A and B are shown apart, each in its own frame.
Chain A
Amino acid sequence: MIAETAGAGVHGGAQTLVATALWDCGLPASRVVLIGWIPAALGAYAHRYRPRREEPRRRRLPTPPHFGWRWSLTGTALPLALLGPLVGPMLWEGSPAAAFYGEPLSLRRLPFGLDLGPARFGVELTTAAIVGAILLARSSRRFDYTRPADLLLGGWLAALGGGAAAGLVQAALALPRDLQGSDFFFLPDAGLRIGTGLSLGVAFGWAVVPTLLLISRLLDAISGGRRRFATVLASATALAVGSWGLAQATPSVATPAPTITATARATAAAALPALTVRAATGDSSAVISDVNGRQVLLRGVNVNQLVDYAAPTPGRATVRPLGDTDFASMAALGFDVVRLDISWSALEPSRGRYDQSYLDRIKATVAMAARHGLYTDLDMHEDAWGPAIAAPAGTSCPSGTTPSLGYDGAPAWATLTDGASRCQGLSRDLTPANTQAFSAFYHDTDGIQTELVHTWAMLARTFADDPSVAGYGLLNEPGMGDDPPATSSVLLGAYEDRAVQAIRQAEQQVQGGFPHLVFIEPSVLWSGLGFDAAPPRGFSADPYLVFAPHLYSESITMDRSLGLTLVSVERGFALAEQQAKTYGMPLWAGEWGWFGSTTGSSPHPSGDPAMLRRFAAAEDQARIGDAYWVWRQACGSPESDRQARVVGNLVGVDCATGKDVPPSAATISVLRRAYPRAAPGALTSLSSDSATKAFSLAGLTPAATAGGPACTLDVWYPGATKPTPSTTGITQLTVHQITGGWRVTGCASGRYRLSIG
C-alpha cells in the first residue's frame, strides 16, 4: 500500500494511505461477491461435510454470555462510532460514488419536505451495526467463539455483512433517482455503493471483537444487574455520536477564491480577453468567465492536425494539413474555441530537449486561431499512452487479441512497459503495455512524470501573457494504469496538482504573465463508461481549474457493445455536473460526438441527428461549452478504420480520392446553433433549437453594470436571415452580419432576457 501511493507526492500522507487501503478493498471485494460462492460451495461440499444425523439439529455450542445481540450491537456500533468519524470521510470521499452522494441521498422529495441530510450517515451506520450484530449473535450459536481465531473471524465477517447492508441501504436510497430515465445506471451505482459498504466492513471489522470484549467487561463492572439497559443505551449513544461525528468530519475543501491579476485585467479590452473562473455562489455553479466578469461559453472543436500519431499504414498520412482556411471555416460555424491537440512525443522527442520547430508550429497555430476570434485550449493529447506502444512487426498475439497499432502521446524514452504484452484485447486502453506504462508514469519511475511537469512549465512560460490561450489540458484521457481505480485517481490527481503548481510558478516568472485555466480530466474510464472515480475532492487548491470530462455516453461507451445503456446522454451530463459541483469547478465537455458509424455500406460520418440534438439540448440546459471530436481525421490515422472509404465525423475525407466530404446538414445545424459567446453576470437559462433556430436566454448581473465590455452580451446566431431579437433589460442592441451568421450584441443589466424566433 505504501509503495502504491509512493507516486502520490504531497498526497502520500496518512489520509491518502488510509483512503487507498479502504478503496483497495472495496471494489475487488464487491466483484468477488458475484463469484465467491463458487469456491465456497466447493470447499463446503467437496469434503462431503454434513452434520451427523443422530445429532439433534437444535444442539448448539455453549455461547459466552456477551454474545447476545445487545452485546453484539455494542461491539459493532462502537468501532463505527469511534473510528468512523476519523476515517469515514476518507472512505466516503474516496469512493467512486462520492460525487453522487449529494443529491441522491438527500431525501428532499419525501412528503412534507423532509430532508434527512447528514442523518444519512446515521441510517447507514445503524444499518451496518444492527445487521453486523445480528450476524455475530447468530453465528455464535454455530461456531466456537471461545477460540480467539474463530472470534476474530466471526466479528470481521459480521462487520463485512453489516457493511454490505449499509451499501444496500445507500443503493436503495439512490434508487428513485437512478431509475429516472431509460438507462441502467442503477446497476453500476449499486455496485459502487455496496463496494463502499464492504470497504467499511473490512476497515472496521477487525475492531469488533476487541471492542466487544472490552465493553463487555466494562459494562459488567459498572452496570451491576442492569446489563440489558446499559448495552442498549451504550449502542444508541455510540451510533448517535458516530453519525454526528461523521457528518461533522466530512471535509470542507477550502480553495482560495480566484482573483484577477492586474496583468490579466489589462487584456479586458482585447478581442479575446483573458479567461478565469468565477467561483460558485449559493445555488449558482462555478463558471468560466472573462476578466470583464462575463460568463463565457467555449464552444468549438478538437483539432488533431498537430498530433504525432503512430503510422500503422505506410504511405498514408496520419494527420491532415492545418491552415488558415480551417480556422476561417470554424469561425464561420460560430465556434470560439479550438482544443488544439499536441503531442509530448513531438515536443520532447529526446529527454530534456524540446523541438523548437514543433513549438513554433504550436505558437503559429495559436496565433492563427486568435486571428479568427478563437481561443485555444492547449491539450497534451495522448491515446493509449503513445506511439511506442505499437507492437513490433511480426508480433504474434493470442486468439481474440491483435497487435497494438500504437497511438499517440508519450515519447519512446518515456514508455516504460517492463516487457508487458503489446497485444490489444477489448480496448486499446487495456493493452498490458499501456497499463504498465501508465503505472510507471503515475509512480514517476525514472522521473518521467517529472519530465512532463517540466514540459508543462516550459509551455506555460511560452504562453504566460497570451490571453488567446484559454488554458491547458494536462493529459488527454489518462489511463488507469495497473492500479485499482480509486488508487489511479489519487495518483492522477497528484500528477495534475504537480503540473498545475509548475504552470503557476512558470507564469509568475514571465512579465505580464497571468494564471490561465487548467482543464482537469478524469481517467479514460469516464470516456468509456460515462463515470469514474475522479481525483478526490481537494486534490488541488488551485482556483482556476475546469472539470473537463469527455461525454461519450450513448455513442462510444463500452456499454454499447453489451446492447444496453448504463449511462444516458442526460445522465452523463448530470453526473459530470455533480462531479464539477463537488469540486467547485466549472464544467466543460472536452470531447463528444461519434453518434454514428463511419463504416458499412452507408457510412454516416456525422452521426445520428436525433442523438446530436439530444446532446445539444442537455448541453444548453447545463449552460456549458464543448469541443466536438474532431475537425478532420486522416485516412492513415491509427484511429481510422482502414477499410472505411470515408473517415472523420465532421469534415470527412474520401480515402480513395483524397477529397473533402462535407459534414451533413443535420450535424452542422446542431454544431452551429445559436449561443451566447459571453453573457454579463451569469446565465440562468438557455435554449437553442437547431432545427427551428428558436433561441432564448436569460441572465442576471449582480448589480447594474456600467457600459463597456463588462455589460456586453455577445450572441452568435447562424444563417443568412437577419434575426430580430426581443429583449428585456438589454440596451444598445446591435445586429451585424459576419461570415456564416450574425453577432447580436447589447448592454445587459440586472435581470435580462433575449429571444429570437
Chain B
Amino acid sequence: MPSICRVSHPSRRAPFAAVVTATGLLAVCAAAAYADPTSLFAPLPWSAFQVTSVHGLWSVAGVAVFLPVLVLVTAWGTAVSFRGAAESTGRRRMVVRLWGVTILATARSRGSPR
C-alpha cells in the first residue's frame, strides 16, 4: 500500500490533503490566538473561536461564518492545487503553493469574527 500511495497521482490524494491543511490552519490560528491574547500578532482574536451566550444572530457570525469560510477556502485551494499539479511538482513547490492558499483564505474570510 505505501508504495502505491507514493506513486499515485497527487489528484487522488487531494481530499486528504485538503482536510489536513484546513485543519492545520485552524489549529495553528487557535494556538496563536491563545498564545497572543492581544491578537496583535495572531491572525485571529481568541473571540473568533468562542461561542458565548448572545443576543441576536450577528454575534455568532464569527463562528457561523468566519471559520467555515476559512476552512472551505483553504480546503478548496488545497484540493485544486493537488488536482491540477503536474507529477513533477515537488513538495517544496506544493508547500509554497499551499502557503499562499492559507494567506488567501485568511484574507477572504477577513480575519474577524464580526
Residues on A close to B: CB < 8 A? 1, 3-4, 21, 24-29, 31-52, 55-61, 139, 141-145, 147, 149-150, 153, 156-157, 160-161, 198-199, 202, 205, 418-421, 425-427, 430, 432, 435-436, 439, 481-484, 487, 558
Contact = CB atoms under 8 A, between A and B. Distances in A.
Nearest to B59: A418
Contacts of B24: 38-39, 42-43
A425 B82 CA distance: 42
A692 B13 CA distance: 77
Interface in B76-108: 76-78, 80-91, 93-104, 106-108
Given A24-B112, A42-B21, A153-B80, A59 B43 contact: no
B17 interface: yes
22 contacts: A25-B108, A28-B44, A39-B25, A42-B20, A43-B17, A46-B16, A46-B20, A48-B5, A51-B88, A60-B86, A144-B83, A145-B84, A150-B84, A157-B97, A157-B101, A157-B104, A161-B100, A202-B108, A430-B37, A432-B50, A482-B45, A558-B38
B65 to A, nearest CB: 10
A49 B91 contact: yes
A61 B93 CA distance: 15
B26 to A, nearest CB: 8
Contacts of A156: 104
Given A1-B110, A3-B61, A36 B99 contact: yes
A52 B23 CA distance: 27
Contacts of B41: 31, 34
Contacts of B55: 418
Contacts of B82: 49
Interface string B39-59: 111111111001011110011
Contacts of B21: 39-40, 42-43
B54 A35 contact: no
Size band of the B side of the interface?
A: 35 or more
A160 B104 contact: yes
A24 B98 CA distance: 21
Interface in B7-29: 7, 10, 13, 16-18, 20-25, 27-29
A82 B113 CA distance: 32
Nearest to A41: B95
A21 to B, nearest CB: 8
Contact of B37 (A37, A39, A425): A425
B61 to A, nearest CB: 7
Contacts of B96: 40
A160 B103 contact: yes
B47 A435 contact: yes
Given A32-B43, A39-B21, A439-B114, A198 B89 contact: no
Nearest to B96: A40
A39 to B, nearest CB: 3
Contacts of A484: 110-112
A143 B102 contact: no
Nearest to B46: A432
B13 A47 contact: yes
B87 A51 contact: yes
A425 B99 CA distance: 31
